[in-house]
Chains A and B, each alone.
Chain A
Amino acid sequence: AQSVTQLGSHVSVSEGALVLLRCNYSSSVPPYLFWYVQYPNQGLQLLLKYTTGATLVKGINGFEAEFKKSETSFHLTKPSAHMSDAAEYFCAVSENPADGLTFGKGTHLIIQP
């Protein structure tokens, strides 16, 4: 069975500082990995995904994530935080393109002015 662990239910950074949201996964086969963002009372928006190929994946809004198989990690980063980045972030994994996703518990990102 697959699972996702997101370290830190809340992360607070200052505006302009580096954003680092941690995600570790377990999967018995090469995984498909995703990061989604959710704003209050809204659905999920895909930030980026890893399927195959290049392990450094660039997404929307300046976010990127690196797939590290040896560490079973897929951490999300952004060089400079913006107030509009405040939201809930979910890491998700899938072992098969036809399957639903297994989500982590989410990390609430707080941006301090």
Chain B
Amino acid sequence: GAVVSQHPSRVICKSGTSVKIECRSLDFQATTMFWYRQFPKQSLMLMATSNEGSKATYEQGVEKDKFLINHASLTLSTLTVTSAHPEDSSFYICSASGQGGYNEQFFGPGTRLTVL
């Protein structure tokens, strides 16, 4: 099946710094990538949708200037958390679609961000 990877799997950073998370589709071309956020013991919340070569579409309440998303190629999307604060600590999960028919999203393993 289709494989999506994320890097890094865990990151710890100081408050005020920026962190970049990569999401890659390893064996298929992802025309659309999604970024979700999951707080401990809670559900996933969609943050944004990105299509290759286009600006990302952010969900209501998600700060586009804080969570920068780039989808420059059909196999790579990046999420940059700018000026991170402790409340940004969360589990960030990406998914990618581009094959498999109806809304087949393949999820990455997630990135655990801890901001000190």
Asked if A90 lies at the interface with its beta carbon under 8 angstroms from chain B, I say yes
Does B46 contact A101, Cβ atoms closer than 8 Å?
yes
A interface secondary structure, majority: loop
Does B43 contact A43, Cβ atoms closer than 8 Å?
no
* Bound CA span A100–B46, Å: 7
* Bound CA span A97–B32, Å: 11
Partner of A103, one of B32, B43, B109, B110: B43
Please give the residue numbers on chain B whose beta carbons come within 8 Å of chain A beta carbons, in ascending order.
4, 6, 32, 34, 36, 42-46, 49, 59, 93, 95, 101-105, 107-110, 112
* Bound CA span A46–B103, Å: 12
CB B102 to nearest CB in A, in angstroms, measures 4
For chain A, the count of residues having a C-beta within 8 Å of the partner chain is 23
Does B46 contact A102, Cβ atoms closer than 8 Å?
yes
Please give the residue numbers on chain A whose beta carbons come within 8 Å of chain B beta carbons, in ascending order.
32, 36, 41-46, 49, 51, 90, 94, 96-106
Does A44 contact B107, Cβ atoms closer than 8 Å?
yes
Does A90 contact B93, Cβ atoms closer than 8 Å?
no
Please, which residues of chain B bring their CB within 8 A of the CB of A96? 103
Partner of A100, one of B34, B101, B110: B34
